[in-house]
Amino acid sequence: MADFKQGTYSAFNFRWEIENQKSFEQALDRLGKTVSDFRPSFIAIGEDWYKGNRQLFTLQSRGLYDDLSENYKPQKKKKVGFIYPILVGETRRLSNSILGKKNLGSVFTLRKQSLFMGTRTPYAKYHQSDAPRRTLPQRKIVFISGGPSDKSKDSGINGRRERWLNIINDQILSEISGEVLI
């Protein structure tokens, strides 16, 4: 059981203390007031998102996906006029929706403390889902974490999370220091 007293915390024979607890809490409050609008970072993150997505939808080969079946390739070629990129179909609804924030079906909601990006295209969830499959292979369209199931072979897509955290970190450092980081 932990014994909690202001400035001193101990639990299971581990003891730590924050010196100047009140100063620390005041510094955190100032930081929260100083950096309350992350829209500049979110705009840069959105630009990175769409740039990576454009790379994904211009592949002229199977790219990072399981290839289309040999039976389906002639059907797609006849119906759409091309085989690759794999996730671009006749209507282009899915690809267009994640290639620009003003495109039909796109989700791009920017607020001071939050950013929502994605697609309203209903069948996108089937490509993205980690659910077991019988016929349609998984062909993710949203790559964020870079974890094993979220790994792209494209360097413009890999490392998004780290790049985005760096963008936010740069903004925080700039606002705290009063310097503009270029």
Q: What is the pLDDT of residues 13-23, one digit of tens each?
A: 454 555 666 77
The total of other beta-carbon atoms located within 10 Å of residue 152's CB is 19
Q: Where are the beta strands (DSSP E) in the chain?
A: 3-5, 8-11, 14-17, 106-110, 115-119
| β-pairing verdict for 106-110 and 14-17 | unpaired
Q: Residue 76 corresponds to which amino acid?
A: K
- Is the model's pLDDT at 5 over the cut of 50? no
Q: Is residue 62 part of a domain?
A: yes
Q: Is residue 33 part of a domain?
A: no
Q: Is residue 181 part of a domain?
A: no
The domain in which residue 43 lies consists of 39-172
Q: Are the C-beta atoms of residues 91 and 70 closer than 8 Å to each other? A: no
Q: How far is CA 134 from CA 74, 131, 137, 138, in A?
A: 21, 10, 8, 10
Q: What is the model's pLDDT at position 182?
A: 61
Q: Is residue 132 part of a domain?
A: yes
Q: Is residue 167 part of a domain?
A: yes
Q: What is the model's pLDDT at position 82?
A: 93
Q: Is residue 45 part of a domain?
A: yes
* Number of structural domains in the chain: 1
Q: Is residue 137 part of a domain?
A: yes
Q: Is residue 180 part of a domain?
A: no
Q: What is the model's pLDDT at position 102?
A: 94
